[in-house]
């Protein structure tokens, strides 16, 4: 080799620069693919069985109270003229509904995932920044100012459409109604309650004064500082039901947590018997073809009742094993044919 | 490498016949993409529909669903990438595992409490990763999606390798190893013994046989079938030695 200026441009003779790095070369050989598929298939079938069995054991009960049918107890509340209408739905439990029981309200055909609906809120207002109380962001339009040009707090479509039905559950014992306590604490995410949303500071010792100069959302019956006057920790933007509602759902059919049944006589769950659900019906859904329902459910290590994962794992596991056998047959057939050709 | 290119000119055929970049190849790729896209949306959709988390809270909310779909996608892409990589050098390991790790690192950072406190409007997903990535069903959904997207590709490739092997599958390296096994006459290999066999000229004249060879290929790649160890389906990023 001649020494000279060309030598200075030579790359280093290391493994990295000369592409001689030690490499592992995975190959799709029969010895790896077929046992691999069998193992995956068996593992998936195992997981699928566990998921399916667990899901079968979870109980859930749905009570539709939209009141579309004339025979429904809540039909009287569906007319527009009805205000503060109360209706009662009755149901019976044949066995113990194991606790802790979670109480949800569910809506269908409700598109909280609609884009313009989803951005229609003011994050600054909701974190207690009072400057934005008087100057709500444009993303809240048309629920930004009311007809008299007063700023709305909390502004936006999501807050304005907050679910307003309330529920009380009673067990009928010896002809008498015994209330089942619904625990509404901690139903929202910890991060929502502690980090994402916060109330404005009190003004002159009064919470209502912090909102002076603003009006409540158009569809609300009471302003945000009266959502829970008895408990300041649950009032204003930190109201648990408000936080649960503001966490917009991804799908048009959703359920949101309303309360937990885990105290007192019902710590073990709901015993068998007759129950009455008293509903303060004020949220209109019939105009857009939606339905409302109450869902009672218990949970397990995999969450709520969901048949899909268990069945999917079982199906995929079986398919894997079938494919492993098919591949083995094809491989064996072609291997033996080839060996014959070589001879 | 250059030795193979000269000894196996048939390897140039797929390029000349546009085997890997033709309308047919494009349609196959598009079909695979359609299938993967449908799986990547509908499997998470069905998994969180009407479901709740282990403490009763919401798991089907907009932000958790977005995070779940995104995680499914990233993991599936990394697994598919791992399948397509022909040579796993240290650099490949770093980038594949690093990508996955970076994704989770960035997700947790962007959805942390601290960043939200600093710039609230830019980081609205606060708490989503923390609340949803500790659910068993979320991880089982990710695993199911990755398997559903990648295993059909594996089956397709394996069957086509058996039934209709391409020139890449059929090309074999020069067989010094096989002959060494058959001979078995002595455990000491000398240049003289090999110098009469075809393909050993370079070996003898290069003095490499005098030094103890360092094993450069680790286990897991010896084929049991008839297709031998030469299998690049794409570009080879590293160098695979021809066996010492």
Number of C-beta neighbours around residue B70 at 10 A: 14
Model confidence at B36, in pLDDT bands (50, 70, 90)?
A: very high
**Distance between CA atoms of residues B218 and B221, nearest Å:** 8
Model confidence at A117, in pLDDT bands (50, 70, 90)?
A: very high
Q: In the predicted model, what is the mean pLDDT of residues A196-221?
A: 91
Q: Distance, in angstroms, between B49 CA and closest chain A CA?
A: 8
pLDDT score, position B23:
87
Which positions in chain B touch A127 (Cβ < 8 Å)? 120
Buried b / exposed e along A108-137 (16+ C-beta atoms within 10 A) = bebebbeeebbebbbbbbbbbebebbeebb
Q: In the predicted model, what is the mean pLDDT of residues A82-98?
A: 89
Q: Which residue is closest to B140 within chain A, CA to CA? A: A309
**A154-178 pLDDT tens trace:** 999 999 999 999 999 999 999 899 9
Contact yes or no for B148 and A316 at CB 8 A: yes
Q: Which of A30, A124, A302 sits opposite B137 (nearest CB)?
A: A302
Contact yes or no for A29 and B223 at CB 8 A: yes
Q: In the predicted model, what is the mean pLDDT of residues A220-229?
A: 92
Which positions in chain A touch B132 (Cβ < 8 Å)? none
pLDDT score, position A165:
93
Contact yes or no for B151 and A37 at CB 8 A: yes
Model confidence at A340, in pLDDT bands (50, 70, 90)?
A: low
What is the pTM assigned to this prediction?
A: 0.81
Which positions in chain A touch B137 (Cβ < 8 Å)? 302-303, 306, 309
Tell which B residues from 12 to 31 touch A, by Cβ distance under 8 Å: none
């Amino acid at each position: 080799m001649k020494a000279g200026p060309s030598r200075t441009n030579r790359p280093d003779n290391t493994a990295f620069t000369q592409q001689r790095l030690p490499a592992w070369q995975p190959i799709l050989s029969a010895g790896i693919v077929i046992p691999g598929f069998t193992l995956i298939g068996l593992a998936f079938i195992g997981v699928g069985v566990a998921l399916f069995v667990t899901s079968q054991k979870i109980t859930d009960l749905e009570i539709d109270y939209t009141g579309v049918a004339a025979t429904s107890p809540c039909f009287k509340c569906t007319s527009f003229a009805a205000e503060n209408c109360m209706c009662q739905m009755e149901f019976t439990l044949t066995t113990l509904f194991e606790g802790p029981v979670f109480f949800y309200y569910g809506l269908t055909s409700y598109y909280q995932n609609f884009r313009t609906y989803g951005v229609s809120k003011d994050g600054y207002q909701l974190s207690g920044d009072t400057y934005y109380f008087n100057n709500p962001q444009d993303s809240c339009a048309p629920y930004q100012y009311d007809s008299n040009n007063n700023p709305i707090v909390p502004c936006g479509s999501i807050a304005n459409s907050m679910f307003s039905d309330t529920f009380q559950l009673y067990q009928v014992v010896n002809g008498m109604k015994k209330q089942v306590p619904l625990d509404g604490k901690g139903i929202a995410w910890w991060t929502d309650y502690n980090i994402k949303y916060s109330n404005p500071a009190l003004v002159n010792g009064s919470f209502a004064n912090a909102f002076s100069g603003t009006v409540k959302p158009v569809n609300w019956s009471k302003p945000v500082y009266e959502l829970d006057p008895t408990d300041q920790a649950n009032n204003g933007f930190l109201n648990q039901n408000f936080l649960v509602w503001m966490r917009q759902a991804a799908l048009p059919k959703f359920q949101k947590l309303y309360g937990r049944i885990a105290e007192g006589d019902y710590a073990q769950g709901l015993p068998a018997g007759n129950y009455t659900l008293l509903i303060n019906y004020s949220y209109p859904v019939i105009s857009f073809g939606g339905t409302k329902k109450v869902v009672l459910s218990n949970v397990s290590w995999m969450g709520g009742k969901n048949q899909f994962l268990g069945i999917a794992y079982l199906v995929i596991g079986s398919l894997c094993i079938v494919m492993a056998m098919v591949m083995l047959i094809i491989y064996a057939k072609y291997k033996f044919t080839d060996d014959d050709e070589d001879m | 490498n250059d030795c193979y290119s000269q000894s196996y000119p048939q390897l140039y055929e797929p390029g000349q016949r546009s085997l890997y970049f033709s309308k047919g190849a494009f349609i196959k790729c598009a079909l695979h993409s359609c299938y993967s896209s449908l799986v990547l949306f509908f499997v998470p959709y069905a998994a969180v529909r009407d479901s709740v988390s282990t403490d009763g809270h919401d798991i089907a909310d907009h932000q958790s669903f977005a995070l779940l779909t995104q995680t499914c996608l990233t993991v599936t892409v990394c697994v598919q990438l791992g399948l397509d990589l022909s040579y796993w050098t240290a650099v490949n390991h770093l980038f594949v595992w690093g990508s996955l790790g970076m994704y989770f690192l960035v997700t947790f950072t962007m959805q942390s409490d601290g960043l939200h406190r600093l710039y609230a409007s830019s980081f609205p997903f606060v708490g989503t990763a923390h609340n949803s990535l500790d659910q068993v069903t979320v991880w089982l959904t990710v695993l199911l999606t990755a398997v559903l997207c990648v295993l059909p590709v594996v089956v397709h490739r394996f069957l086509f390798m058996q039934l209709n092997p391409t020139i890449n599958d059929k090309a074999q390296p020069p067989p010094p190893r096989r002959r060494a096994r058959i001979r078995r006459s002595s455990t000491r290999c000398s240049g003289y013994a090999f110098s009469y066999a075809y393909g050993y000229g370079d070996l003898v004249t290069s003095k490499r046989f005098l030094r103890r060879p360092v094993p450069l290929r680790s286990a897991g790649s010896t084929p049991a079938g008839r297709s031998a160890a030469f299998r690049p389906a794409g570009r080879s990023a590293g160098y695979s030695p021809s066996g010492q």
